[in-house]
Chains A and B, each alone.
Chain A
Amino acid sequence: MAHLFSAGKRFRVLPGFGLTLGLSLSYLGFLVLVPLAAVFLKASGLGLSGIWDLATAPRTLAALKVSFGTSLCAAFVNTVAGTTTAWVLVRYPFPGRRFLDAMVDLPFALPTAVAGLALATLYAPSGFPGSLFASGSTLGSLFPGGELKIAYAWPGIVVALVFIGLPFVVRTVQPVLEDLDREQEEAAATLGAGRLRVFTRVILPVLLPAMLTGFALAFARALGEYGSVIFIAGNRPFQTEIAPLLIVTHLEQPDYPAATALAVVMLVMAFAMMLAINLLQAWTRKRLGHP
């Protein structure tokens, strides 16, 4: 018995730590670590200077700009629209709410190529709502050049990325909103706070970390998206070519080192951005006094 107590330091009340950690390790190892290590290994064939040359080539830079720019735009749109959607779903009872709630998950289930093709057809100048912004239309004349090209241009990529990223924000913000104690809002109101003040000082601080998480998830998902975007992007070098397409282009050569090197560049950049978002999240939590 004595040895049991001497081992007390590593004894855990909850059993199964070794088993579950082992399964998690093999799971992550096989599905994430091994493929990622292979990517880095393959890319290392180019050497650091080779990777740098590839990463700073004008065409690569243009593609990275398109990828990161559209992904950020889409993540911003999703954070605002997704939070609003979550708010509506949680706070107001109305007929069809459950149906709307279920619809949010559709982008998860729909094959992305189908989504891309459908969106491209709808947002082309001949489709609806694409025709609303085509040349000659009232809305279109508001834009320079008399039309807003959605499909096969920058806005089209953002539309596709907004579509695939929407559930991430809704599903991260929704549970937090559900847990939010209404009494806090009521207390704030009795203390004389107006509606805007209640929102900015009571509700938003609680939601912000979840919104940031949703933003990060939607952004990461958008960055890697290929299937839907290539149908709506136009794919023209220097203009609407996304970085994942450039990777596929290299694969087609077949130039594996260049393709993997580009993947590494994207990974490192994405990792840096995720890290920044996480730091920001930790900072807001601390500043706003939520554990």
Chain B
Amino acid sequence: MPHLRALRPGRAPLLWSAAPAFTRALTVALAVALTAALALAPSPARAAAPEQTLLNVSYDPTREFYRQINAAFAAAWSQKTGQKVTIRQSHGGSGAQARAVIEGLKADVVTLALAADIDTIATHAGLLPETWQSLLPDNSAPYTSTIVFLVRSGNPKGIRSWGDLAREGLEVITPNPKTSGAARWSYLAAWAWASRAHPDTPEAVLDYMRALFRNVPVLASGARGATTTFTRQGIGDVLLTWENEAFLALNELGRGQFEIVVPDLSILAEPPVAVVEANAQARGTGALARAYLEFLYSPEGQALAARHGYRPRHMEFAAPEDRARFRDLELVTIADPVFGGWPRAQKEHFATGGVFDRIYEPGPR
């Protein structure tokens, strides 16, 4: 009976077994806590390796684009400096990625869907200066995009402009502006069109937005989810989406099933990039991170952007067949007086109790 050992006479009871059970329990708990604390303590800095790594925290649809950029940049960098560099990439919803960086994801650079998300990193965590957008050319956005319509082949509902989207009985697919960067741009594009169509009647603009979102049967959480709903599940008559995502749907998801309608007016979406200064400094990757982002502005980087459906800032570097895909349209920027920049637009439209919340009240229709 081994478990009765403590009862044997002649054997001094161990301090451990004599201690009250509760004390023992507490000791174990403390020991576990201590071990955890030791494991979490910073380990001594490792010697600087000749090979450097860089973490690019980006949003969802850029995966394929940055995979090619990374390979091209690594080759260019090792040719120039002889140093080998590995770039890791992380993708997710733009807002969620910004939150991950705030919570401690050690990103050297962020390449997100909206300036507002990088602003959040600057204001909530102070990891980069609030003037970050002026540190690189073109508002720190090396490529731009816009929101276009994807409709079913032959455009059976005859959708041509933003005004058509509010027609009764039409189904419009767009993600939730609260959780998706693309959806915020779509929403703002619609708003820009409506406020030009009804310049003096704000109530008419709001009515248009209400009618538009009444036609939205599904608010997917992200751009990819909305694309799936439209292309694979066959729901909706029109999908509002990134231009690059529309090209992708056209080429890969269903040849001959869809076509792109470019409205006369849309929004100039500027997905910005920035070095997360505090992280790069701590890891000693500042120069590398900056060179990486500057590479996006190089002829090679610009050509790759165009290949993946983003509008390069310098269209002359794009291959002719890529250039031909981009149609001319009037593009409204976020700095337009209608919006007054990201901080104001964010607060007015997408914050709790903002315009987007209000167009859904007073409830079920």
Contacts and interface: CB of A to CB of B under 8 A. Distances in A.
B75 interface: no
A254 B120 contact: yes
Interface in A8-27: 10, 12-15, 17-19, 21-23, 25-26
B3 A234 contact: no
A18 B21 contact: yes
B364 A238 contact: yes
Given A10-B20, A58-B363, A253-B352, A26 B176 contact: no
Given A23-B32, A231-B225, A238-B364, A254 B217 contact: no
A163 B336 CA distance: 48
Nearest to A18: B24
B26 A235 contact: no
B29 A29 contact: yes
B364 A58 contact: no
B13 interface: yes
Interface in B15-32: 18-29, 31-32
Given A58-B363, A120-B233, A254-B124, A234 B219 contact: yes
A26 B21 contact: no
Given A121-B232, A254-B124, A258-B352, A21 B357 contact: no
Given A237-B360, A238-B360, A248 B179 contact: yes
Contacts of A126: 233-235
A29 B362 CA distance: 43
A268 to B, nearest CB: 21
Contacts of A254: 95, 99, 102, 120, 124
A104 interface: no
Interface string A241-254: 00001001111111
Contacts of A13: 3-4
Interface residues of A, number: 49
Contacts, number: 127
A182 interface: no
Contact of B234 (A3, A30, A124, A238): A124
B156 to A, nearest CB: 16
A124 to B, nearest CB: 4
B219 A59 contact: no
B354 to A, nearest CB: 10
B contact residues, range: 35 or more
Interface of chain A, main secondary structure: helix
A215 B22 CA distance: 35
B234 A152 contact: no
B18 A7 contact: yes
Interface string B320-346: 000000000000000000000000000
B364 A239 contact: yes
A258 B25 CA distance: 37
A127 interface: yes
A89 interface: no
A251 B221 CA distance: 13
B24 A22 contact: yes
B24 A249 contact: no
B228 interface: yes
Given A13-B3, A22-B26, A235 B221 contact: yes
B74 to A, nearest CB: 32
Contact of B361 (A58, A117, A234, A239): A58
B107 interface: no
Find the residue from B36, B176, B232 having the highest chain A CB count within 10 A.
B176
A4 interface: yes
B7 interface: yes
Contacts of A235: 176, 218-221
A236 interface: yes
B228 A26 contact: no
A223 interface: no
B228 A249 contact: no
Given A23-B28, A239-B364, A254-B124, A151 B33 contact: no
Nearest to B19: A18
Nearest to A54: B352
B204 interface: no
B280 interface: no
Nearest to A235: B219
A25 B228 CA distance: 45
A1 B9 contact: yes
A152 B95 contact: no
Contact of A25 (B29, B178, B357, B363): B29
Contacts of A251: 99
Interface in B243-292: none
A19 B24 contact: yes
Interface in A253-285: 253-255, 258
Interface string A14-57: 11011101110110011000000000000000000000000000
8 contacts: A10-B21, A17-B21, A22-B25, A22-B28, A30-B32, A124-B233, A152-B217, A235-B220
Interface of A: 1, 3-4, 7, 10, 12-15, 17-19, 21-23, 25-26, 29-30, 58-59, 62, 117, 120-121, 124-127, 151-152, 230-231, 234-239, 245, 248-255, 258
Interface of B: 3-4, 6-7, 9, 13, 18-29, 31-33, 36, 95-96, 99, 102, 120, 124, 176, 178-179, 216-221, 225, 228-229, 232-235, 350-352, 357, 360-364
